[in-house]
Amino acid sequence: MLDPNTRYLQIAFNSDASQVRRILPKIPYDSRIIIEAGTPYIKLTGMAGVGLIRRYWKGLVVADLKVTDGAVNEVMFASQAGATAVTVMGSAPTETIDLFNQTCTSRGIYSMVDMLGVENPLKHLLALKTKPDFIVIHKGRDEESTRRKIIRYKDIAKTHSKFDSFISVAGGLEPSGIRSAYFNGADVAILNVVRQGDPYQGIPETADFKNLIPQILKEVGK
C-alpha cells in the first residue's frame, strides 16, 4: 500500500524490451519508486512487456494502457501480466471510467485516470460514481514543443479540494524540474526514459541510473 504522506517518483519506459533489460536492473529498489510500462512500450511488446518489467521490479508496476473502452478486459489483461496499476483516459465515457475503477478495486490494483487533453479535470471527475486512486495531470509528449503548453499545476489544488486521490504530474519533466511538481502539490512526478536523438525531455537512457536515481530521490524526500 502506498502512503498518502509520501512523495513518489515514477519512471516510464517507452521504448523496447532491450532498454528495460539494460536499464531497469540498474535502478536501486526504493519503495518510493514506481515503474511504468509506457503506452508505446506496451504497443510494441504487448502484455509480455509488462511481465518483463514485473520480473525485474518488485514494487508498483503501472501498465499505461490509456483505456478508452472495454475496461474490464483491459484491466484483467494488465493485472494477469503483473501490473499493480493501470491507466484509463479521463476523456473516456463516464461508464467506462466507473467500470474501470470498480474492476481495479475488485482486482486489488490501483486505478489511474489520465487527464491528457481534458480541459476541466474536476468537472469530469465529479461526474463519476467511483473515485480513482490516482489522477494524472498530463501534458502530452507531442505538446512539449509548444511553448505555451504548460503542465496545469492549478488543476492540482482544484482536484485535491474534492478528492483525496494521489495526484501525478507528467509532461516534459526533467530530473532538475521535479521539485516544482512537488512544490505545486503533486504526490508523484513522472519522468520518461528518453532514447538518444528523441526530441522529448526526461532521463537520457545513457545516464548513470545507479547513481542518478538516488540523487533524484533526495528531491523526492520522505
Residue 158 pLDDT = 86
For the cut 70, the answer to whether the pLDDT of residue 180 exceeds it is: yes
Assign residue 183 the CATH number of its domain: 3.20.20.70
User: Is 158 domain-assigned?
Assistant: no
Tell which residue, 82, 45, 77, 89, has the closest CA to residue 62: 82
Amino acid (one-letter) located at 139: K
Rounded Cα distance between 33 and 11, Å, is 7
Neighbouring residues of 83: CB distance < 8 A, sequence distance ≥ 6: 37, 50, 54, 61, 62, 63, 109
Q: pLDDT-derived band of residue 125, with 50, 70 and 90 as boundaries?
A: very high
Residue 119 pLDDT = 84
Residue 26 pLDDT = 97
Q: pLDDT-derived band of residue 171, with 50, 70 and 90 as boundaries?
A: confident
C-alpha to C-alpha distances, 163 to 122, 180, 185, nearest whole angstrom:
9, 21, 13
User: Is 157 domain-assigned?
Assistant: no
User: Is 176 domain-assigned?
Assistant: yes
Higher pLDDT, 115 or 201: 115
User: Is 4 domain-assigned?
Assistant: no
Residue 69 pLDDT = 98
Residue 149 pLDDT = 47
User: Is 155 domain-assigned?
Assistant: no
Domain that holds residue 90: 9-150+169-220
User: Is 163 domain-assigned?
Assistant: no
Q: pLDDT-derived band of residue 151, with 50, 70 and 90 as boundaries?
A: low
For the cut 60, the answer to whether the pLDDT of residue 65 exceeds it is: yes
Number of domains in the chain: 1
Residue 107 pLDDT = 97
Backbone angles phi, psi at 143, to 5 degrees: -90, -10
User: Is 3 domain-assigned?
Assistant: no
Whole-model pTM: value is 0.94
User: Is 45 domain-assigned?
Assistant: yes
Q: Mean pLDDT over all residues of the chain?
A: 92
For the cut 70, the answer to whether the pLDDT of residue 7 exceeds it is: yes
In the chain, what percentage of residues exceed pLDDT 70?
94
For the cut 80, the answer to whether the pLDDT of residue 90 exceeds it is: yes
Rounded Cα distance between 200 and 209, Å, is 18
Q: pLDDT-derived band of residue 153, with 50, 70 and 90 as boundaries?
A: confident
Mean per-residue pLDDT, 159-171: 91
